[in-house]
Structure 1
Amino acid sequence: MARRYRFGIEEFERLFQGVTGVELLEGEVYQMSPIGPRHAEVVARLVTRFAQALGDQARVWPQNPVRLPPSSEPQPDIALLKPKDYWESLPTPEDILLLVEVADASLEYDREVKLPIYAQAGIPEVWLLDLQGNRLHVFRAPKEGLYTEHRVLLPGEEAEPLHFPGVRVAWP
């Protein structure tokens, strides 16, 4: 009889150390889509804009893992974190102010798989940038594994991070 094996965070980190392009979601290891030039450019622009707009108010954490116990370690495209050093451990939900996922070919995966995990972990805000539809989806107010607020921004509209009122960020 075949059985599916589920990984814990510590086991995943030990077994997949040095392996790129994988993330742990609810105990299962997923291979991430390759990053194309358009996706890379958008992430680079947003990192620059966040860093310029926020300075030392937040740590901009691009394409690095975050720990969402008990069984997820995703790699969002950008995380805005509380400003502190993360030498000893990866950021956890208490450290995360905003997550950004840039979706070129991964919109369904980001929306159907990752977004509910973020909501369950209590991440206060997630931006899902749909490159093909040229829309920015802003999700806020997680409750019982769902985001109860969803706003769609159109080209030319700036986004304002929940934790930084008055800071306006242009998105590509």
Structure 2
Amino acid sequence: MLFLILIIEVSDTKIKYDTEVKVPLYAENNIVEVWLVNLNEKCLEVYRQPTANGYEIVQTFQKGETVTIQALPNVTFTVDEILGD
């Protein structure tokens, strides 16, 4: 059995498609955590706790903020590191 703890999407031109189509599909398939790197807004959108209707927790992290992988609490990144700034 395959168990994914995190999917990371990098998006610049298909944000709407990613958030309205792909992210809900990940939730339906019980992907525990999805990170959407939004290159247009220069932020990181984090989706956690999948339900039948999407994700229960949705957070947006800005430059200078730190994010942790839920399944690996000792692993942290800054948004700047993720964006490559």
Normalised by the size of structure 1, how large is the TM-score?
0.44
Alpha-carbon shift at residue 143 of structure 1 (Å): 1.0
| Structure 2 stretches lacking a partner, 5+ long | none
Q: Could you tell me whether the CA contact under 8 Å between 1:117 and 1:145 is conserved in 2?
A: no
User: Larger deviation: 141-150 or 117-126?
Assistant: 141-150
Instruction: Output the CA distance in 1 between the equivalents of 2:37 and 2:9.
Output: 6
What are the residue-to-residue correspondences of 1:129-144 with 2, within 5 Å?
Answer: 129-144=37-52
Larger helix fraction of residues: 1
What are the residue-to-residue correspondences of 1:86-97 with 2, within 5 Å?
Answer: 94-97=2-5
Aligned residues: 80
Q: Could you tell me whether the CA contact under 8 Å between 1:136 and 1:153 is conserved in 2?
A: yes
Instruction: Output the CA distance in 2 between the equivalents of 1:134 and 1:119.
Output: 24
Q: Percent identity?
A: 34
Q: Could you tell me whether the CA contact under 8 Å between 1:100 and 1:126 is conserved in 2?
A: yes
Q: Aligned pair 1:154/2:39, yes or no?
A: no
Flag the structure with more relative contact order, 1 or 2, with Cα contacts below 8 A and sequence separation at least 6.
2
**Which of 14, 19, 25 is residue 117 of structure 1 equivalent to?**
25
Q: CA-to-partner distance for each residue in 1:67-96, whole Å, 9 max, x for gaps?
A: xxxxxxxxxxxxxxxxxxxxxxxxx7x421
- Code of the residue aligned with 1:141 in structure 2: it is Q
**Which of 68, 73, 81 is residue 165 of structure 1 equivalent to?**
73
- Code of the residue aligned with 2:18 in structure 1: it is D
Q: Could you tell me whether the CA contact under 8 Å between 1:141 and 1:147 is conserved in 2?
A: yes
Alpha-carbon shift at residue 145 of structure 1 (Å): 3.3
Instruction: Output the CA distance in 2 between the equivalents of 1:144 and 1:117.
Output: 9
Larger strand fraction of residues: 2
The structure 1 segments of at least 4 consecutive aligned residues displaced by more than 3 Å after TM superposition are none
Normalised by the size of structure 2, how large is the TM-score?
0.87
| Structure 1 stretches lacking a partner, 5+ long | 1-91
Q: Which has the larger radius of gyration?
A: 1
Give secondary structure in 1 for the equivalent of 2:36.
strand
Give secondary structure in 2 for the equivalent of 1:105.
coil
Instruction: Output the CA distance in 1 between the equivalents of 2:63 and 2:43.
Output: 7
Name 1:42's counterpart in structure 2: none
Q: Could you tell me whether the CA contact under 8 Å between 1:139 and 1:149 is conserved in 2?
A: yes
